[in-house]
Structure 1
Amino acid sequence: MTKTSMFTSRGRLTAVAAIISASLSTPALADETSVERVSIIGNQQKIDQAAGAVDVIGELQLEQFQFDDINRILSQVPGVNIRQEDGYGLRPNIGFRGVTPERSKKINIMEDGVLIGPAPYSAPAAYYFPMASRMTAVEVTKGPSTIQYGPNTVAGAINMVSRGIPADSEGAVDVAAGTDGYYKGHAHYGNTNGQFGYLLEAITLGADGFKELDNGDDTGFDKTDLLAKFNYRFSVGETSQLVELKVSRSDETSNETYLGLTDADFAATPYRRYAASQLDKFEAEHSQVQLTHLLETDQLRVTTRLYRNDFERDWFKIDNFTSSQGGQVPSLLEILTRPEDETNQRYYQVLTGQRDSTSQEILQLNSNDREFFSQGVQIDVDGDVTLFGLQHEIATGIRFHEDEIQRNHTATNYFMRSGSLTPTGEDTRATTTNTENTEAISVYLQDTITLGDLRLTAGIRGELIDGYYQNRTPGFEQDFQHKTTRIWLPSVSGYYALNREHGVFAGVHKGFVPTSPIQDASIDVEESINYEAGWRYINNGTRVEVTTFYSDYSNLIESCSLSSGCATDLTFAAGEVDVYGLETSWHTSYRLTNGWSMPITVNYTRTESEFNNSFYSSFAQWGFVNEGDSVPYLANNVGSLSIGLQGNRWDVYLLANYVSDMPEAAQTALTGDSRDSTLAGVRTDAMFTLDMSASYRFPDWGKVYLKLDNVTEEEDIVSRRPYGARPGKPRQVQLGYQYQF
């Protein structure tokens, strides 16, 4: 069949004109205090009365530690499970409530309320993630409220809130330098003159890297992000309205690799990188255009967003060994897991540059060149109405979305010669050449009714998805193959105020994760029923929340990609799985003498998981699974403690994080079968990190700050996937200066 897009140029322009015209003609009352609508959670009152677990890390909290790494930021939120990878958070692996963190593909990642992943439906792996350093808030929602945000509704959503256009002249400059060649330059300025406002922002960030290549080459990264916003406020009749244009451009070059170390080499020199990874490099460009129209009245808000994101990336890196004589060669993970094996030993010596390649140990480096786009129209409406004598808070929305990934992968063969990679002279060849495209219509409706001290919320989401896959490999070309998914996802939740300080909440919703267009239609989508219940206490700056959660999966699916060790993207199903646990948080602030205060925040999450069936899977993270085995890369215990001292001039903060060890595979032990999971019975290290920051504010000349990440220089194996043991970031020292005007 031939695919025809719903987003042709004429169709797109017609839809835009119709939507804006409809918004402008909506009857309304005057409200001249309209603000940019980029938050998905809302004001503090909505947070306090939320019928579920929501968390907001605001601008002041983000500035306490000046983190560039989203993993470190989210460590302050209960219920978040993370698998570290490169130490800098360049391509994070984030999950909520036990969902697989692999490339954050099972949570909704948004910026200013819009899906920001490269191709959220077709290829949700987050090889692009917004730069955390330029955000002014990070919002996390879990539980039934996730129904508003799809397509993934099992776990939750994260919304990165970018800087808004200021009401008056306002700007800042932030520069920093540190160990391992770290540098940061960040500046922004904005103003509003009458009805017109604007914001310009630029940030550059990089480092030489903390790993040491055997040949001495750089292992660092460089990232640049440019952002501009322009808005115009006006009134039509009795409505207050705003039109805003947001454009951004970012690029990244990072000398990153998937190649890790043997456990023995990690114990000796954890920050070493083998010679075989000397050419590995990730290059990417991202651009965004977003046009927003906001209409507000006393009782109604209509937000229309048109968005387009383009992302191009090429990751040139070592992939495996091959032989000109044919025959099977061991995988990189097998070599590094058991380097003492007689067969593996010579391959290991080639990887480290100790031995030159023969025709049997040719190194294959792949250029994984991919192009993505994501575009759509999203309309969200919420307002207050009175029906049958009851107060209703209605939230509803519709999104027309299209995204696509084009893979143009190639492979080139190299010899190892005296510690350097040398092309064999063979032609570069195509390996994967295909296109995945998805068109989706999403709708949701949510109604919150207030009955005295009870706030009862019911909602439903519909995902109407059409996926298309085309193989473009020369000699194997085919027309687009079509796959359809139609699903409705209900939710119900409630919050009951016991008194002014105490409240309880509970909810249940249906979880869903779609499969990509390339996957066989016989593989069912992921579905679950998710429950939560909790208690919240708020009094005079003290906040305590305890939440229990239970996710009952009728069909857990996992996709295996290059980042988890698969040569091609494949999807596997495990059937019934249970994930359950407890989230707790406590925050307070003590007033001390002489103007000092001491804020304290404690978070703890306990998570358990178990497969309900015994089975074998060729998915490397599962293998031979027995009923009751745990889901891999899910820590049972995660906790953090943040404590600060705030004064008139000085601020000092400490953040301690603990993550218990995690299984690298569901299979608990080797059986001797050739199909055993390579990492059966192997676990990551338990990790403890201590971060510190201190700042001094001058009366008129800004502030200086000092940061120490990983104060105690912990050296832990954060993961052995896809190819060997890898470390977290070592101790890093930064000295910076920030001036606001």
Structure 2
Amino acid sequence: MKKNLFQKHLSITISTLLFTSTALLADDVEKIDSVTIIGNESSNYLSKEKLSLNRTNINIEDTAKSIQVFNEDFIQDAQIQNIEDIIKMSSNTVYTGDTDGKSTNISMRGFSGVPILIDGLILTNKIAHPEVFNLQSVEVQKGPDSLQYGQSSPGGLVNLVTKKPVKENFTKIEFAVNDNPSFSPKLDIGGSINEDKSLYYRLISVFEHDKGWTNSNTDTNKIFIAPSISYDINDNNTFTFVSEYTKEKTPTGFGSNINSKGEFVASLEHVTSHPDEEYEKTQKVLGFDLDSSFNLWNSNLRYRYTNFVRDYGDVYLPLFYNEATNEVTRFSADQRGEFEEHALQYSLNKEFTIFGKKNNLSLGADYNKAYSKGTSRIALSSLSNINLANPTYEDKIKSIDEFSSVRDMSSDKTYVKSWGMFLQDNIDLTDNLIFNTGLRYSESKPQNGKKSDALTPSFGLVYKITPQTSVYTNYSESFTPNSKLDKSNNILDPEEGKGYELGIKQKLFNDNFNLTAALFSIEKVNIALSDDSTIDTNDYVASGKQTSKGLEIDLVGQITDNWSLVASYGYTKTENKDNNNLELRNIPSHTANIFTTYNLSSFNLPNFYVGGGARYLGSRYADDANTIKLDSSIIYNATVGYKKSNWKVNLSIQNLTDEEYVDGSASGSTSDTRVYVGTPRTIMANISYSF
């Protein structure tokens, strides 16, 4: 690792920051309620903000769904660097890798393919690890639900809420380092431009330089900038322009390998490709929101344009692993992807009374057109082996053009067009009983393919036993278009998810703490399987079936004025009905998470806090045949910090015991034992000043 020399300097720097912070701190400044940057010394992880995930504007307690919100206080205190580390704090949720840097893969309640929305919009192609510093909160909704957002996983969906313009002037300067080594200066600035505060803005900017913890010779360098501006047209209408620019260069990351016993076969530092490889990503986002709000109705119109380019250049791609020789066979290739996307969404909510019953009626429509173009060439004669335990790399990366036999697998620019519309009503049947019902029609069509469409209903009941206690139940459906064809050359019916859920929501500790518990049963059908009635291996039938059942508990909030906590436990039992009821790959039966902080005011240290956490990841299978089993793991974190008015200092250790563990396997095949591994022990320090 590239840590030894830097650790000495880092420890000196951290010690200096912690022991001299008292002298550096200025007097208290006035707190701004609308900006959480200059907040209280004690954190509260219970979000009080309006839920962005729900296009109906219904409160969480009135929704017949299990929903968790992770706010900025939690993200900052836990020193979370990647969105997957936030998302997997929710029960029955696991991160399974990033497809070699191409996507963030989340499985929930046993099912993969969980979509990650940004500000309530589904974007098909986007950067794998979006900037956490730009997030206000992360929202997680469980269960199959295509009602409001279209195609989805039966497990649920995630929404990333980005920071928006604010009217009160503020500036936050932050500097973060870790022992890789890395450093990252960050800036968050916003406020009003004119006297009546009708024109206001926000600017988020991050630069990151990271040496990394593997034996790659390529450093991570990232520039991120996100300017946005809002204009209050009048008392009822606000127009917001948003934009983002990300340019990032990282090492390639094709994971590591395990043997048939689920054990690592080499040091996790060793890359399986070549240390000089570079992976470049550039993403540009432009868009707007038009929000209208009146006494009994409101609406929102959103549009985003995304341009995303990812370029591996010349790489050595791992093909398969030979356990007898402990060697990985690789081949040379070059890969580049170019993506464009237009996403448009409109939502309208109207409150009215009919037959003495209060109704919250919602209707919405959305449209998406996603273009893609891929350049991919592989050298058929370039196979080479590398010993993982003692790798000897080539002197330089050989260009694909230097090989005599090259297969061009590039694709022309094509698009997929999809649209949908939904109608939903939330009816107060009595003062304590709420009925949720809705129906959506969705359609998806590739440029050179046949369309898929689906009708997806959703029903739910919420009964408020007391103002603090409610029970709920729901039935909902999801769909995902199939890309496979049957023997008549017709596209298969979409995959469908059907789920039942029964749960309870409880407010505790003066309504500063929420508990959500649920039982669920989900069935996924129309999974593409090879058609045994024909000799053509490219013919499929939509007859596959998978199931998931389980329970979960999620806790979040403030137990006392000094003690805050986020915790969860989940149990999932999965079965692949077409594969002898075997368990689904990458899905543990048990997961558990906890992160807590305690302000030391009772010890006459009101500006200091300590905290820590642990994540339990149960044993699970790395292959579809359930022959390679991964051991369970516990990953510990610890943190200590100082907060006073406009200063904040934090020191944390992630993966305290340096546990070696697998996030997820890259393939369900026993011949490809490539896995994505968890980050080793990392020491991080962060200091910020807000004014």
**Pairing 1:365–2:343 present:** no
Tell me how far 1:129 sits from its aligned partner.
4.2
In the alignment, residue 209 of structure 1 is paired with which amino acid? G
Q: Is the partner of 2:642 in helix, strand or coil?
A: strand
The answer on whether the counterparts of 1:52 and 1:144 sit within 8 Å (CA) in structure 2 is no
Q: Deviation per CA, 1:434-483, whole angstroms, max 9, x where unpaired?
A: 44411122101110000221010101111122212xxxxxxxxxxxx231
* Residue-by-residue CA offset, 1:663-715 (whole Å, 9 max, x unaligned): 112213xxxxxxxxxxxx00223221111222112455x12111110011111
| 2:308 pairs with one of 303, 306, 311 | 311
Instruction: Provide the rounded CA distance (Å) in 2 between the counterparts of 1:55 and 1:94.
Output: 15
Tell me: CA distance 1:429–1:231, structure 2 relative to 1, closer, same or farther (3 Å): same
Aligned to 2:630, the other structure's residue is in SS state coil
Q: Give the Cα–Cα distance (whole angstroms) in 2 for the partners of residues 265 and 631 of structure 1.
A: 16
Counterpart in the other structure of 2:527: 556
Deviations 1:162-197 (CA, angstroms, capped at 9, x unpaired) = 111111111201111111122222102111232111
2:656 pairs with 1:687:
no
> In the alignment, is the contact (CA less than 8 A) between 2:599 and 2:610 conserved in 1?
yes
Secondary structure of the structure 1 residue equivalent to 2:403: coil
Q: 1:315 to 1:433 in 2, by over 3 A?
A: same
Q: 1:587, 1:201 → 2: CA distance? A: 28
Q: Is contact 1:483–1:517 with CA below 8 Å preserved after alignment?
A: no
- Which letter does structure 1 place at the counterpart of 2:523? D
Q: 1:496 to 1:262 in 2, by over 3 A?
A: closer
Which aligned pairs between 1:336-351 and structure 2 lie closer than 5 A? Answer: 338-340=323-325, 348=327
Report how far residue 209 of structure 1 moved.
1.2
Distance 2:653 2:583 in 1: 35
Q: Is 1:584 equivalent to 2:571 in the alignment?
A: no
Percent identity between matched residues is 17
Equivalent position SS for 2:688: strand
- Is 1:396 matched up with 2:335? no
| 1:441 aligned partner | 419
Measured in 2, the distance between the counterparts of 1:377 and 1:267 equals 45
Matches within 5 A, 1:375-390: 375-390=342-357
Name the residue aligned to 1:99. Answer: 111
> Which whole-Å CA distance do the structure 2 matches of 1:166 and 1:301 have between them?
21
CA drift of 1:517 comes to 8.8
Determine if contact 2:304/2:344 at 8 Å carries over to the other structure: yes
Q: Is the 8 A contact 2:274 2:315 kept in 1?
A: yes
Q: Are 1:456 and 2:435 matched, yes or no?
A: yes
Q: 1:116 aligns with which of 123, 134, 138?
A: 123
Return 5+ residue gaps in structure 2 as ranges. 1-33, 35-48, 385-391, 531-537, 601-605
- 3-state DSSP of counterpart to 1:115: coil
Gaps of 5+ in 1: 1-32, 101-105, 119-125, 321-330, 352-360, 469-480, 560-568, 614-624, 669-680
Contact 2:63 2:436 in 1 (8 A): no
C-alpha deviation, 1:66, in angstroms: 2.1
Structure 1 pair 556–248 and aligned structure 2 pair: CA distance change class (3 A): same
User: Are the equivalent residues in 2 in contact too, given 1:438–1:517 (CA < 8 A)?
Assistant: no
1:136 corresponding residue in structure 2: 136
Task: Give the aligned partner of residue 534 of structure 1.
Answer: 503
Partner residue of 1:545 out of 516, 533, 541: 516
2:455 maps to 488
Distance apart, 1:143 and its partner CA: 3.4
In 2: Cα distance, 1:542 partner to 1:275 partner? 46
CA distance in 2, matches of 1:167, 1:294: 16
Q: Output the amino acid matched with 2:450.
A: K
Alpha-carbon distance in 2 for matches of 1:59, 1:151: 28
- Relative to structure 1, is the Cα distance of residues 160 and 78 closer, same or farther in structure 2, using a 3 angstrom cutoff? same
**Relative to structure 2, which stretch is displaced further, 408-417 or 655-664?**
408-417
Amino acid at match of 2:653: L
Looking at structure 1, the residues matched to 50 and 615 of structure 2 have their Cα atoms a distance apart, in angstroms, of: 33
Contact kept, 8 Å, 2:109 with 2:143, in 1: the verdict is no
How far is the alpha carbon of 1:580 from its aligned partner? 1.1
Q: TM-score, normalised by structure 2?
A: 0.81
Taking CA–CA contacts closer than 8 Å with sequence separation of 6 or more, which of the two structures ends up with the larger relative contact order? 2
| Separation in structure 1 between the aligned mates of residue 465 and residue 644 of structure 2, nearest angstrom | 46
Task: Report the counterpart of residue 643 of structure 2 in structure 1.
Answer: 697
Bigger mean CA deviation after superposition, 455-464 or 254-263: 254-263
Match of 2:158 in 1: 158
Shift of 1:153: 5.3
Alignment of 1:706 with 2:691, yes or no, is: no
Shift of 1:587: 4.0
**TM-superposition CA deviations, 1:376-428 (whole Å, max 9, x none):** 32111112111222111111111122111111212356587974245383256
Q: Give the CA RMSD over aligned residues.
A: 3.1
- Partner Cα separation in structure 1 for residue 53 and residue 553 of structure 2: 22
Residue 716 (1) aligns with residue 661 (2): yes
Out of 210, 217, 240, the position equivalent to 2:236 is 240
Are 2:619 and 1:658 equivalent residues in the alignment?
no
- 1:631 corresponds in structure 2 to 584
Paired residues of 2:144 and 2:498 also in contact (CA < 8 A)? no
Instruction: Kindly indicate whether residue 527 of structure 2 is the aligned counterpart of residue 575 of structure 1.
Output: no
Contact 1:144 1:493 in 2 (8 A): no
2:478 is matched by which residue type in structure 1? Answer: G
Q: Which of 299, 304, 308 in structure 2 is aligned with 1:302?
A: 299
Quote the residue 1:20 is aligned against.
Answer: none
SS at match of 1:420: coil
Indicate which of 572, 575, 583 corresponds to 1:610.
575
**In the TM superposition, what is the alpha-carbon distance from 1:311 to its structure 2 partner?**
0.6
Tell me: CA distance 1:444–1:90, structure 2 relative to 1, closer, same or farther (3 Å). Answer: same
Kept in 2, the 8 Å contact 1:380–1:396? The answer is yes
Farther-moved stretch of structure 1 (180-189 vs 264-273): 264-273
Is the CA contact 1:609–1:630 (under 8 Å) kept in the aligned structure 2? yes
Residue 339 of structure 1: how far off its partner (Å): 3.4
- What are the equivalent positions in structure 2 for 1:632-647 lying under 5 Å apart? 632-647=585-600
Provide the rounded CA distance (Å) in 2 between the counterparts of 1:364 and 1:713: 32
Distance 1:717 1:95, change over 3 A: closer
Q: CA, structure 1 residues 699+141, in 2 after alignment: closer, same or farther (shift >3 Å)? A: closer
Q: 1:586-609: CA deviations, max 9, x gaps? A: 346443xxxx72223331010011
- Contact 2:425–2:438 (8 Å) recurs in 1: yes
What's the TM-score once normalised by structure 1's chain length?
Answer: 0.76
- Cα distance change of structure 1 residues 572 and 136 upon mapping to structure 2, 3 Å threshold: farther
Evaluate the alpha carbon distance shift between residue 698 and residue 456 of structure 1 in structure 2; reply closer, same or farther with a 3 A threshold: closer
Tell me by how many angstroms 1:532 deviates: 0.8
Separation in structure 2 between the aligned mates of residue 585 and residue 455 of structure 1, nearest angstrom: 23
Q: Secondary structure at the match of 1:180?
A: coil
Distance 1:705 1:273, change over 3 A: same
Query: d(CA) in 2 for partners of 1:631 and 1:262?
Result: 18
- Residue identity opposite 2:131 in structure 1: M
Answer yes or no: is 1:167 the counterpart of 2:138. Answer: no
CA deviation after TM superposition for structure 1 residue 267, in Å: 5.0
Residue number in structure 1 paired with 2:533: none
Which of these residues, 333, 352, 360, is aligned with residue 320 of structure 2? 333
Q: How many residues align?
A: 607
4+ aligned runs moved over 6 Å, structure 1: 42-45, 415-418, 517-520, 569-572
Shift of the 537–530 alpha-carbon distance from structure 1 to 2, 3 Å rule, reads same
Which aligned pairs between 1:33-432 and structure 2 lie closer than 5 A? 39-41=52-54, 46-84=59-97, 91-100=103-112, 106-118=113-125, 128-143=128-143, 146-152=146-152, 154-192=154-192, 193=194, 194=196, 195-213=198-216, 217-218=217-218, 220-235=219-234, 240-261=236-257, 263=259, 269-274=266-271, 276-316=273-313, 318=315, 332-335=319-322, 338-340=323-325, 348=327, 364-412=331-379, 419-421=394-396, 423=398, 425-426=402-403, 429-432=407-410
Letter of the 1:94 counterpart: I
Judged with a 3 Å threshold, the aligned counterparts in structure 2 of structure 1 residues 200 and 518 are, in CA distance, closer, same or farther, namely: farther
Residue in structure 2 matched with residue 476 of structure 1 by the alignment: none
1:505-554 Cα shifts (integer Å, max 9, x gaps): 00001221113499964433211211111012113123222101111222
Residue 25 of structure 2 corresponds to which residue in structure 1? none
Query: Deviation of residue 91 (structure 1)?
Result: 4.0
CA deviations on 1:341-379 (whole Å, 9 max, x unpaired) are xxxx7xx2xx5xxxxxxxxx8x53222211111103211
Residues 461, 418 of structure 1: CA spacing in aligned structure 2 closer, same or farther, 3 A cutoff?
Answer: closer
Quote how far apart the aligned CAs of 1:720 are. Answer: 4.5
Deviation at 1:584, TM superposition (A): 0.8
